[in-house]
Amino acid sequence: MNAMDRAPDIASPQPPVLGPPLISAHDLSKVYRVGEQDLVALDHVSLEIATGDFVAIMGPSGSGKSTMMNLIGALDVPTSGQLVLDGRDIGKLSVDELADLRNRSIGFVFQQFNLLPRTSALNQVMLPLLYAHPRPADSVEMAKKRLAQVGLANRMDHTPRQLSGGQQQRVAIARALVNNPKLLLADEPTGALDSRTSDEIMLVFADLNRAGITVVVVTHEPEIALWAGRRITFRDGHIVDDVRQTPITGPVEATS
């Protein structure tokens, strides 16, 4: 990777100071109706995620981790229990209020980069600002700042086909950051990347977290979870493990 393409070191040398809860779930359940049966995706889950934390959510398929991500991201509402995100009970919000909460407080990063094929990196990052009320007058400068923050200051005019997979994911991260969200929620963000590029992307997340952004990464890869300061594991709709750990700060060399 060209040195100019590396994300700059935006991290504080000190570990993040955790603040009050940004996410607070109490006795949370989610039940889906499938035919004539009820499918319990989450079963009376309680947890808190502090402002400034870096959390990895793990679990096998069907464990409830994706359902938890959808609730944290205000993409769905619980069947019962309470989920408070950024001071607002999502179960009491209208569809429009949920959309406003997502746009204002949450930045999303997905496994597939979801970039428009013929659109420049700069215009990709500006897209969320089109839905801001009021629309910022300095939208272009805001987008340029976020692209520079993820190491793409010299790639702003490039379309996805002119960018590597890692660069495309960094465009997606910059897009997620452009509205200055309090929470960066990433769903399998390295699933489409090789191990070296995955490390580069996780370094970006780690730097952003140390700069003060709350990061929640949903992953099935233990190596990715090592970057987080807290690991929560789901199974059968329950939390079966919730531990704090010392996060890695760089790639781990494989051993034979």
Task: Identify each DSSP E strand in 21-161 by its residue range.
Answer: 21-34, 37-50, 54-58, 80-85, 88-89, 106-110
Are the C-beta atoms of 161 and 133 separated by less than 8 Å? Answer: no
Q: What is the pLDDT of residue 31?
A: 96
State which amino acid sits at residue 213: I
Q: Where are the domains of the chain?
A: 52-77+92-244
Q: Is 147 helix (H, G, I), strand (E, B) or coil?
A: helix
Q: Is the dihedral of CA 70, 125, 202, 160 positive or negative?
A: positive
What would the mean pLDDT of 13-17 be, rounded to a whole number? 58
Structure pTM?
0.88
- pLDDT classification of 12: cutoffs 50, 70, 90: very low
Q: Burial-class residue 165 by CB neighbours within 10 Å (0-12, 13-18, 19+).
A: middle
pLDDT tier, 8 (very low <50, low <70, confident <90, very high otherwise): very low
Q: Is residue 98 pLDDT above 70, yes or no?
A: yes
CATH level 2 (architecture), domain 52-77+92-244: 3-Layer(aba) Sandwich (3.40)
Checking phi first, is residue 147 left (phi over 0); if not, alpha (psi -120 to 50) or beta? alpha
Q: Which two tokens stand for residue 110?
A: 């997905």
Is the bond preceding residue 20 a cis peptide, omega within 30 degrees? Answer: no
Q: What is the mean pLDDT of residues 227-231?
A: 97
- Give the model's pLDDT for residue 3: 39
172 vs 16, more confident: 172
Q: What is the mean pLDDT of residues 203-207?
A: 94
